[in-house]
Structure 1
Amino acid sequence: MIYQEVSGAARRVDCSQADEACRVVLKNVANLGEGEFGWVHLSDPAEHEVVALADELGLHPLAVEDAVQAHERPKRERYDDVLAVALKTLWYVEETSQVETGEMMVFLGPRFVLTVRHGPSDPAVEAARRLAVDPATVSCGPASVLHAILDVAVDTYTKAAVGVRDDLTELERSVFSPERGDVTDQVYFLKREVLEFRDAIQPLVPVLEEFTGPRAPWPEDLLPYFRDVADHLHRADTEVRSLDDLLGSVLDAHLARVGTWQNDDMRKISAWAAILAIPTMVAGVYGMNFEHMPELGWSFGYPLALGVMAAAAGMLYRAFRRNDWL
């Protein structure tokens, strides 16, 4: 799947032979007029596709390696006159409460943009739609594509954070409900998802800070747009940090409640053991079968022994109930 973006007009090129499609697009890029640029987009490409484009566009071998391997943290690199930006794509799966991640590489040259996407989520589609209805932004050059992709990616971060927040609210209700339930696995699962979320967002924050500074390598008309994206990213980063902290608090609260439940159980076991200890002791003494024991020859001795055991057990039961042990 390859997109071509020339002066704000988006056109999708489908071809059974990827190399042939690349040649068509590269030929169009080479014939661009003044103020125009080309946008080539690859989705889960094979290595030879990226290498073919890299040779034609003059990309650095390290840039090709980053685009093919797709295991990069969000970052920016400069290779001569080409700016390479790596970012994580996110999407929230509501059915499984999972945060899935992918990767997008953006290469900005003087007259071209090359984007390489790995994973199901593709911000380039929505970015192309937004640029198609905003020719003023496209006139700023290849950097407009980078802004659009970052804007779409950060919007998905915000949506994913809302889904995680809803899951966390449900966990809080479960933890503080009067019914007993072990949600430790759920808390750890959600915390792992939030950590994956943080790994995608936090490294991108300093990258966008560079893009909004006075030394940013694009027209000043684009700076307010990048500052807006950076502001949204800071909000998402703050939200994810708060989710991580709150999950830690929820886990501590749940473990504290589990400890309280265990203490309650131990007190109940200890109380019943104490209640049963007196009848056991009396029965054990009389069970030793000595001849000279109190009340052995009295007809009311047996009922009296039972009464004493029942009375002692009842008094202990009442005392434990009064102290909330039972």
Structure 2
Amino acid sequence: MTIIAARRYVPDPTGRSAARIPGPLALDDRFSAVPDGAFDWIGLCEPSLEEMTQVASHYGLHPLAVEDALNPQQMPKLDQYQKHLFVVARTATLEPGETLAYGQTAFFLGADFIISVRFGSSRAHLGLRDKLEADPERLAEGADYVLHAVLDFIVDGYLPIMERLEAVAHAMEESAIDVFPEQQTIRRIFRLRRQLRRFERIIGPMEEVCQRLAESHVALIDPTARIWFRDVLDHVRRAMARLRGLKETLAAIVETASLLEQHRQGEMTRQLAAWAGLLAVPTAVAGIYGMNFEYIPELKWHYGYFFVWGVILTICGGLYWRFRRIGWL
């Protein structure tokens, strides 16, 4: 069976902490009756239908929830059944090439058990389990506290992704100020925007799930535990705010680079127009005196050549001063 870990946590006589049964539970122990005040925490990784059916038959899991747990393409959601809650969360990792890969973790939360079914995520919960077992007083609060801890673990995985993508976006933003982005960079920007749009569609419903857990009356969630889910909700909202800000940054990169390029092209156009105006003066004068007519004014004047050059230089000097004054040169 693809059970990563299976533990039973029983309260101590004082009721202030929870102690786990030493070592992994054997199959017969794991499916024995749960004592009062205790709960089982079972972690499954990509189980088969037969394995999932065996667990479901013992804990009384609803067939529709089992079917959804085995489908790794579910959106985040929270469903209430008669004997348990069913929660779906989506995990995300940033792979090489700035590609986001998604996984799914489904939870069955009952009065005396919590079962996690993980698909596609490389972040196992073993380290989190050890951390919780090191704080038995918190663990004694029950299976709903474990649900909060795992959801918080999943949501915290979004923040490093945002940080890495923000670093990429800021680097592209700085380079776009100096030169217009190359075609390869523009493709990269649009790939990132497409990835973020999908990220928002997939992770966005997590905010609704956490809000229901934090603010609504949900069976099997102790009212005193809502404050923990409010913390998860706050983390989800931070991640979503950073995601939307990153989308705006990527859109602004293209827009800003386009405006800067238009400005640079406008400067070049003005400079070319100014030099064309300066060259037009001698061209026009030379064109007039290059006509093959015998009776052109001052054609046989001894100082006509120097006079024409003086006129050309005076006009060109005035135009140059004027263009410099208005910033065209």
Q: TM (normalized to structure 1)?
A: 0.77
d(CA) in 1 for partners of 2:29 and 2:252? 57
**Is residue 201 of structure 2 the alignment partner of residue 199 of structure 1?**
yes
2:13 corresponding residue in structure 1: none
Offset of 1:123 from its aligned partner?
4.9
Paired letter, 2:180 = G
List per-residue Cα deviations over 1:181-233 (Å, max 9, x = no partner).
32655554444444344334431122112212362322345333223322333
2:263 counterpart residue number: 260
Q: CA deviation at 1:152?
A: 0.6
| Aligned equivalents of 1:70, 1:146: Cα separation in 2 | 19
Residues 207 and 236, structure 2, Cα contact 8 Å, conserved in 1: yes
Letter in 1 for 2:75: R
Deviates more, 1:39-48 or 1:98-107: 39-48
- Match of 2:157, SS state, is helix
Identity across the alignment (%): 32
**Structural mapping, 1:1-326, within 5 Å:** 1-2=2-3, 3-7=5-9, 8=20, 25=27, 27-34=28-35, 35-45=37-47, 49-50=51-52, 53-54=55-56, 57-92=59-94, 96=97, 99-176=100-177, 179-182=178-181, 184-185=186-187, 187-213=189-215, 215-216=217-218, 217-297=220-300, 301=304, 305=308, 308-326=311-329
Residues 253-262 or 141-150, more deviating: 253-262
Q: Note if contact 1:97-1:167 (Cα within 8 Å) is conserved in structure 2.
A: no
Conserved in 1, the CA contact under 8 Å of 2:60 and 2:83?
no
Correspondence for 1:20: none
Q: Are the equivalent residues in 1 in contact too, given 2:31–2:58 (CA < 8 A)?
A: no
3-state SS of paired residue (1:71): coil
Further displaced range: 265-274 or 43-52 = 43-52
Cα deviation digits, residues 114-157 of structure 1 (max 9, x gap): 32223343252333222222223333333233112111112222
For 2:70 and 2:305, the matched residues in 1 are separated by 90
| Counterpart contact for 1:137–1:222, Cα < 8 Å | no
SS of residue matched to 1:212: helix
CA contact (8 A) 2:7 2:21 kept: yes
Q: Deviation of residue 308 (structure 1)?
A: 4.4
Q: Secondary structure at the match of 1:69?
A: coil
The residue matched to 2:122 in structure 1 has which SS? coil
Distance 1:286 1:63 in 2: 95
Distance 1:84 1:233, change over 3 A: same
Amino acid at match of 1:277: A
Structure 1 residue 50, shift from structure 2 partner = 4.2
- Contact 1:50 1:67 (8 Å CA) reproduced: no
Instruction: Report if aligned partners of 2:104, 2:121 keep a CA contact under 8 Å in 1.
Output: no
* C-alpha distance in structure 2 between counterparts of 1:272 and 1:51, whole Å: 83
The letter for the 2-side match of 1:86 is: V
Give me the whole-angstrom Cα distance separating, in 2, the residues matched to 1:194 and 1:12: 40
Equivalenced residue count is: 312
- Which secondary structure does the structure 1 equivalent of 2:42 belong to? strand
Letter in 2 for 1:262: Q
C-alpha separation in 2, matches of 1:51 and 1:210: 29
Distance in structure 1 (CA, Å) of the matches to 2:195 and 2:129: 29
Q: What root-mean-square deviation, in Å, do the aligned CA atoms of Structure 1 and Structure 2 show? A: 3.5
**Deviation, structure 1 residue 53:** 4.5
Cα distance in 2, alignment partners of residues 286 and 47 from structure 1: 97
Alpha-carbon contact 1:130-1:148 (below 8 Å) kept: no
Superposition deviation, residue 111 in structure 1: 4.1
